[in-house]
Structure 1
Amino acid sequence: MKPFAYVRPTSLREAADAHATHPGARYLAGGTNLVDLMKLGVETPTTLIDLSRLPLDDITELPDGGLRVGATVSNSDLAADPRVRARYPALVQALLAGASGQLRNVATTGGNLLQRTRCGYFQDLSKPCNKREPGSGCAARDGIHRDHAVLGHSAHCIATHPSDMAVALAALDARVELYGGPDSTRTVAAAEFHRLPADHPEQDTVVRPGEIVTAVLLPAPAPGTRSLYRKARDRASYAFALASVAVVLDLDPADGRVRSVALAFGGLAPRPWRATTAEARLTGAEPHPDTVREAVDAELDRAQPLRDNAYKIPLARNLACDTIAALAGTRPGPPATT
């Protein structure tokens, strides 16, 4: 590991100023991803700016009935909060599916969003990777890519984003709060927070240089809304998603039709994939299995599988259809009413 300086700011402004005055600096929260990448030599920051002591670790009520989750709230504390468990079950399920208890105790809300791909070629300095070194090539395209993207990838990068939490946040219409200075605070939709690779796979998110993730804003769920997160993986625990799905469903009690639906996939793309085509087809329709399948197929028709990962398409289809059926009551499933 290369030598680096360490700064512990006492305010957001001090943190942003430190970043501006230390070229090559990186913000540090839980460190569960950044420190691992430093050990591998993938990340070589000149300075670490420790945000863990800033007052960003509270979950507070919003006037509309939603919640503001501070960026340094641990994944364990977020999953255990009674308000989160009651209002956003899909988020709790995603957090609990994401890692071991030890990691959840340290990993933070902001850090989870900012974690980098777990692509083996990205982590291997002996292999070309456009995300790590732009213009060097993508070794995964002709290499081992069973776990890689089928949606939203480009000729330059086929890596998937690893977060479970981010998939649930995309379906829940959450927003990410960013601090860029005393007069520069903005929010970004969680579904738009991560970039697709296109010609610049090294740009993972829309975060501007020096900006700090300060919170995630969760809107109040509509009465009667149900949500559920499901994940398919190679082993029962501590594995990244081959495919995952978060669904937020609201049915009209009068006729059982879909009043609103949000569907997001994980494990299929370089970012959580909000399935807007499927959502549009399902809104106003009865959640009959055939209708749901046709809507999901319309979304997955956009997929461009590679040599070894076409299996992800039927896997994601079945996972989405089964999850919607569980929420709609067309098959037995776990209770998920908020």
Structure 2
Amino acid sequence: MNPFKFSMAQNQSQAVNMLVSNNSAALLGGGTNLLDLMKEHVAAPTELIDITRLELKTIEKNALGISLGALAKNTDTANHPIIRSDYPLLSKAILAGASAQIRNMATNGGNLLQRTRCSYFYDIAMPCNKREPGSGCAAMEGFNRMHAIFGWSDQCVAVYPSDMAVALSALRASVRVLQQDGSSRNIAFDDFHILPGQHPEKDNSLKHGELITSIEIPENKLAAHSAYVKVRDRNSYAFALVSVAAGLALEGARIGDAHISMGGVAHKPWRALKAEAFLKGKTASTANFRAAAKAEMAAAKPLSHNKFKVEMGINSITNALEMALKG
């Protein structure tokens, strides 16, 4: 780990100003990913700005839905009574991730900012455009079993690891951030994380100096019919090969609206827009669920070692929708 300066912010504006004044500074909340990256010499911020004293830990209902403080812990979020009753999809996804010890430390805002677990990204002896732009992508021709089947580019085939974010994508959340001038802006969740394109070093649309203050989730009609399916190599402390967050808003036997997002398949949570569009207005049945899944996965572009993810994606979407229907 490289030497760094340690600073502590007393309020939000101070945190932003400290971040703006140092282009190589990083914010420290739970530190569950950042410290790992520093230990492996993947990240080397010259300054860590401790923001744990900021009052951003509240989880509360509002006129539009619910607001999750950026510094609220993952465990507190998953077990909050309102989340468990009105947004159970989020609770299920969070509890499927990491371990209890990590969830007790990890923050909501930090969860959104975690970086890929691509083994080539973590191995500083290997070329990686995300870690060192222009060096190449070792995973492209390497062992890419865990990697993307949607949205990848010739610059990067890494996937985004968060379970929580997959559920937030399906719930059509937004991210509120504080800007340098003191104003706030809302970023639609689908626009927060970005595909690699020609700039895989960028994971999200945040500007340097912006501070995540909350995650906003609108009211929905999914509480009775939602499910999170995570397929992985082992049952605990493993990242998804494929995951699916699914919610159904039913109108009798028909589907008024379907919310579906996937994890483990792209550089960002992957909204299954084709599957959602296919299901709208149709009868809630296994046959329609499978047809919707096939429609979504038809556009997949697997790599040399992850072709299995296509069939796994079809089965996972179908299973998640069946589980959501049963409630």
> Does the pair score TM above 0.5?
yes
**Which amino acid is 2:284 matched to?**
P
**Which residue of 2 is the match for residue 271 of structure 1?**
268
**Which amino acid is 1:35 matched to?**
L
Deviation at 1:224, TM superposition (A): 6.4
After the TM superposition, which residues 205-216 of structure 1 pair with which residues of structure 2 at under 5 Å, given as runs?
Answer: 205-216=204-215
Deviation at 1:90, TM superposition (A): 1.2
Q: Within 1, Cα distance between the matches of 2:222 and 2:291? A: 28
| Aligned counterpart in structure 2 of residue 290 of structure 1, from 282, 287, 292 | 287
Deviations along 1:112-166, whole A, 9 cap, x unmatched?
A: 0000000000011000000001110000111111010111111110000000000
Q: Within 1, Cα distance between the matches of 2:224 and 2:127? A: 45
**Which residue of 1 is the match for residue 257 of structure 2?**
260
Runs of at least 4 residues off by over 3 Å: none
**Which amino acid is 2:177 matched to?**
L
State whether residues 130 and 157 of structure 1, in contact with CA within 8 Å, keep that contact through their aligned partners in structure 2.
yes
**Which residue of 1 is the match for residue 8 of structure 2?**
8
State whether residues 222 and 248 of structure 2, in contact with CA within 8 Å, keep that contact through their aligned partners in structure 1.
no
**Which residue of 2 is the match for residue 32 of structure 1?**
32
Give the alignment's TM-score, normalised by structure 1.
Answer: 0.94
**Which residue of 2 is the match for residue 229 of structure 1?**
228
Residue ranges of structure 2 left out of the alignment (5+ in a row):
none
Of stretches 123-132 and 320-329 in structure 1, the one that deviates more from structure 2 is 320-329
- SS of alignment partner, residue 45 of structure 1: coil
Of stretches 181-190 and 275-284 in structure 1, the one that deviates more from structure 2 is 181-190
Q: Within 2, Cα distance between the matches of 1:216 and 1:23? A: 25
Q: RMSD across aligned C-alpha pairs, in angstroms?
A: 1.2
**Which amino acid is 2:98 matched to?**
A
- SS of alignment partner, residue 60 of structure 2: strand
**Which residue of 2 is the match for residue 218 of structure 1?**
217
Deviations along 1:241-277, whole A, 9 cap, x unmatched?
A: 0000001101112xx1110001000001111000111
Rate the CA distance shift 1:224–1:129 in 2: closer, same or farther, 3 A: closer
Rate the CA distance shift 1:238–1:223 in 2: closer, same or farther, 3 A: closer
Residue ranges of structure 1 left out of the alignment (5+ in a row):
330-335
Deviation at 1:226, TM superposition (A): 2.0
Deviation at 1:184, TM superposition (A): 2.5
Q: Within 2, Cα distance between the matches of 1:144 and 1:328? A: 37
**How many percent identity over aligned positions?**
45
**Which residue of 2 is the match for residue 124 of structure 1?**
123
State whether residues 171 and 191 of structure 1, in contact with CA within 8 Å, keep that contact through their aligned partners in structure 2.
no
After the TM superposition, which residues 95-110 of structure 1 pair with which residues of structure 2 at under 5 Å, given as runs?
Answer: 95-110=94-109
Deviations along 1:276-318, whole A, 9 cap, x unmatched?
A: 1111111011122222212211111111001110101111111
- SS of alignment partner, residue 69 of structure 1: strand
Q: Within 1, Cα distance between the matches of 2:221 and 2:274? A: 22
After the TM superposition, which residues 102-181 of structure 1 pair with which residues of structure 2 at under 5 Å, given as runs?
Answer: 102-181=101-180
